[in-house]
Structures are given as structure tokens and as C-alpha cells.
Chains A and B, each alone.
Chain A
Amino acid sequence: AQSVTQLDSQVPVFEEAPVELRCNYSSSVSVYLFWYVQYPNQGLQLLLKYLSGSTLVESINGFEAEFNKSQTSFHLRKPSVHISDTAEYFCAVSSSGAGSYQLTFGKGTKLSVIP
């Protein structure tokens, strides 16, 4: 079984300040890791993913996340946030092996960017 813990349910941050959204996972097998963003009344949009290779992954809009296997973490960071980054962010994990295809999500972190 897998689980995801997002340590902060809400994170307020001033515009242009840096932010870190924390994610820890538990799994007995190798994993793929994802961050999704959800704007109000919308579905989920993939922000970035770690499948293999470099442990630092980046998105096109300035977010990055680093896979830390020893700490079982996949924290999301952005050096300077914008008002438009206000949304809910979900960390998710799936098994990288055959036979298990579901995504297991955390409960989400609401990022509020303050002007």
C-alpha cells in the first residue's frame, strides 16, 4: 500500500516570495511521483512528474521538485510566486512496477498568494 502526506493544508505567501510545498510518501516499491494543480471548479492539471533519471524535475512555469529517496520526499518549490499561482496543489504517487496503476493522492495544499 502507498500513502502520501502533504504536511501543510494551507500556505499563505506574499507575491514574489519563495514557497515550498512539502510532500512525503510511503511505499514498499519503487514509485513514480507527481504534482498536480487544481484551480477552483476545475479538474487536475499535471505540473511535473518524476519517472526516472534526474531527481530534480522542473515545470514550464517555474516550479521544481526534487525526489529524495532516502527521505521519501518530493517537495515542490518556486523561487518567486505570482498571484496566478493561487490554487490547490496535490502530490501523488504510483507504483513504477507492473500490476498497480492507481494514483494515490495527498489531501492537498492550498496556496494563497497575497498581493
Chain B
Amino acid sequence: DAGVTQSPTHLIKTRGQQVTLRCSPKSGHDTVSWYQQALGQGPQFIFQYYEEEERQRGNFPDRFSGHQFPNYSSELNVNALLLGDSALYLCASSPRPGGYTFGSGTRLTVV
């Protein structure tokens, strides 16, 4: 049984560009959360999607947006990239609050 799958694993973007990261949740999980982990820091909550709606959002600007599809997979979009957006982006899925499974992450480098 595949766990949480994220793609791509690495990518490099230029300041001002837009990026889309993808996540497939673990089988049986209907809730997807996104986290940003800057170098040397703990993960920071970006937002959570459930039933194709954003259910909760952390303290991130509107440049960060997302989407959840009917098959529960999700995308994270970041517009107008800044150097400070360089980080590991983690997707976590859950069948309910309290049982989060994390993917291996996407390493985004903004140059």
C-alpha cells in the first residue's frame, strides 16, 4: 500500500515564477494538509483540505493557494516566488484529525 506520494522531489525556480506541487494521499485518507519546512526549522502549517474545500489555513499569504480533487489528491500553488519560499514542502494525509502520514516532501529552491 503506497503511502503519501509527492511530486516532484526537487525543483528549482526563479524569483517571480509560479510553481505547482502535487500530492497523492495514502489510500483511505480523505484529508490533505500542506506544511513548509525551512532549513533548520520545524514544519509550519500552510492549509488543510477536506471534501475539496480549504478547511483551515495557517499564517501564509494569499500567494499560497491549493486545490483538492475528487480523488482526494491535492495541489499546492505558489505565485510570485520569493527567495524566502525556498524550503521543503511536506504533504500529510489523514482519515481524521490525529492520524497524519507525511510524504517525503518536495525540495523547492528559488534562485
Residues of B within 8 A of A45 (CB): 102
Interface size class for chain A?
20 to 34
Interface residues of A in 1-46 (CB under 8 A from B): 4, 32, 34, 36, 42-46
Bound Cα distance from A32 to B56, whole angstroms: 18
In this assembly, does B55 line the interface, its C-beta being within 8 Å of a C-beta of chain A?
yes
Residues of A within 8 A of B92 (CB): 44, 103
* Interface hub of B4, B35, B58 (most chain A Cβ within 10 A): B35
Bound Cα distance from A103 to B92, whole angstroms: 10
- Interface-lining segment among B41-49, B62-70, B74-82: B41-49
In this assembly, does B104 line the interface, its C-beta being within 8 Å of a C-beta of chain A?
yes
Docked-complex contact A46 and B100, CB < 8 angstroms: yes
Query: Closest approach, in angstroms, between the C-beta of B12 and any C-beta of chain A?
Result: 16
Partner of A102, one of B6, B42, B58, B90: B58
Docked-complex contact A104 and B98, CB < 8 angstroms: no
Bound Cα distance from A49 to B55, whole angstroms: 23
Docked-complex contact B55 and A101, CB < 8 angstroms: yes
Interface residues of B in 17-63 (CB under 8 A from A): 31, 33, 35, 40-45, 48, 55-56, 58
Residues of B within 8 A of A36 (CB): 102
The 28 sampled A-B contact pairs (Cβ below 8 Å) are A32-B97, A34-B100, A42-B104, A42-B105, A43-B4, A43-B104, A44-B90, A46-B102, A51-B98, A90-B42, A92-B42, A94-B97, A96-B98, A100-B56, A101-B31, A101-B33, A101-B56, A102-B48, A102-B56, A102-B58, A103-B33, A103-B43, A103-B45, A103-B100, A105-B44, A107-B40, A107-B42, A108-B42
Q: List residues of chain B with CB under 8 Å of any chain A CB.
A: 4, 6, 31, 33, 35, 40-45, 48, 55-56, 58, 90, 92, 97-98, 100-105
Q: List residues of chain A with CB under 8 Å of any chain B CB.
A: 4, 32, 34, 36, 42-46, 49, 51, 90, 92, 94, 96, 100-108
